[in-house]
Amino acid sequence: PVAVALEYLGDLGEMQLANLGEGGGLAVEDESLVVDVGDQVLPLPMLVTYRLTGLDGEATEDVVDNIPDDEKAKKDPEVEFGVCRGLLEINGIELLVGQFERVGDLKNDVDHRLAGKLVKMLQYCCKLRAIRSRLLRMRSPNAIAVILENVTRALNSSLTLDTATDLLNMLTIIFQAETEDTDKVAVVPKTSQTQAPPPREIKSKEKKKREQKHTITPDRTAVSNNSAVNDKQIEKLLTYLHKDHVKSKPSLVYMIMKILPLFVVRRPDLTIVVLRAFGKYLNWKEFDKWEGKESWRFQVSCFVTFTRTIPLNTQGNQIRKVCLSQGITLETLDYFIATHKENRPSLPYVLQILAGLCHGLPEAQGV
């Protein structure tokens, strides 16, 4: 590239600039500044025509007053990726999922790239609702279990967290097939001009009676015999929340906790595994004592995300029922009643957990 002072070019006429483009040379001397264009080709200035609307007659040029939205031009995914539908007829989806068995050490460059290609192809396939449904119900191989296994493998190293993120994103898309047809339970609060009374004190006898009343058993009909995951897989996934290289990625941690209810909702009894992992951190008196401890706040924040992302439907309520039957909801509520007038560090977390565990569940709202 040639640098030419703009003030010199401004003094040149159109013919002089044209001569430069034909190979003419230009040398301008100004004290110590020498600009030699030589045989470089300079483009002619662009001609711009503009007119104020309403002056000298109506403008005949096209008027552009906004930029078209590219989103509107996007095709329906069912049409754009319709070619992937052919894989359903030849067991192509099963073949792609089965290829994950060929992936060895994800820290190996070849295996890492192979996993990336498989994820990319499956992401395109997941644009189709029929393929999402197939993956969700696939048992040979068990697609959800295979993908989850590769998620935990990718979480082993900070070098492969990108693969873990892509796999978690894909799982979220796959689970849409199960939630798309599920009606959400809308809870419409009753408006009232009167201020709600403060939480009342609960005596020990009343508390015991209330606990007996709400010791319920989760609806076993909601437990899928063909569930894609088991307790060992959930436990393994949760152990990575203690790894520094995972904890340092807030977006990844959020994805793990956001997708966890989507695993558990198909087997509400797995909620026990989640409560076992976070149970010791839900001791609110100890939390107030150790509030300054980063690991304690981190684990409680993870549980908050879990409770706030439980689906608002009958399946999600099965998870809430397990939490209620295990005493988590009542213990948290009792702590709030006893300390709501105090400035406790735990109260913001307590309120968020209660909102997640009571929302849409009449049994919890009536305690």
- Does this model's pTM top 0.75? no
User: What pLDDT was estimated at residue 12?
Assistant: 52
Residue 73's pLDDT band (cuts 50, 70, 90): low
**DSSP assignment, residue 159?**
G
Q: What percentage of residues in the chain have a pLDDT greater than 90? A: 34
Q: What angle do CA 59, 63, 66 make, to 5 degrees?
A: 160
pLDDT 10s digits, 300-336: 999 999 999 999 888 899 999 999 999 999 999 999 9
Query: Is the Cα dihedral 192, 198, 204, 205 positive or negative?
Result: negative
Q: How many CA atoms lie within 13 A of 305 on its CB side?
A: 18
User: What pLDDT was estimated at residue 255?
Assistant: 93
pLDDT at 181 over 90: no
pLDDT 10s digits, 29-54: 444 444 455 555 555 677 776 666 66
Phi, psi of 33 (to 5 degrees): -95, 125
Q: Is cis: bond before 43, omega within 30 of 0?
A: no
Phi, psi of 188 (to 5 degrees): -100, 110
Burial of residue 353, with CB atoms counted within 10 A of its CB: 0-12 exposed, 13-18 middle, 19 or more buried? buried
User: What pLDDT was estimated at residue 325?
Assistant: 92
Residue ranges in the chain assigned as alpha helix (H): 6-10, 14-21, 77-80, 92-98, 109-125, 129-137, 143-154, 161-174, 176-179, 204-213, 231-239, 244-247, 250-264, 271-278, 284-289, 294-308, 314-325, 328-339, 347-358, 362-365
Q: How many residues does the chain have?
A: 367
* One-letter amino acid of 59: A
Residue 141's pLDDT band (cuts 50, 70, 90): confident
Residue 343, both tokens: 């400035």
Helix (H, G, I), strand (E, B) or coil at 151: helix
pLDDT 10s digits, 188-201: 333 333 343 444 44
User: What's the rounded mean pLDDT across residues 136-155?
Assistant: 89
pLDDT at 254 over 70: yes
**Domain residue spans of the chain:** 1-52, 78-181, 202-367
Residue 17, both tokens: 């600039």
Q: Which of 230, 257, 228, 227 is CA-nearest to residue 241?
A: 257
- Which of 203-217, 239-253, 310-324, 341-355 is the least confident region? 203-217
Q: What is the largest CA-CA distance in the chain?
A: 103
Q: What angle do CA 48, 53, 59 make, to 5 degrees?
A: 65
User: What pLDDT was estimated at residue 361?
Assistant: 86
246 in Cβ contact with 253 (< 8 Å) = yes
pLDDT at 337 over 70: yes
Residue with tokens 């640098």: 3
- Which of 18-32, 103-117, 127-141, 229-243 is the least confident region? 18-32
User: What's the rounded mean pLDDT across residues 57-84?
Assistant: 73
Separation of alpha carbons 7 and 146, rounded Å: 67
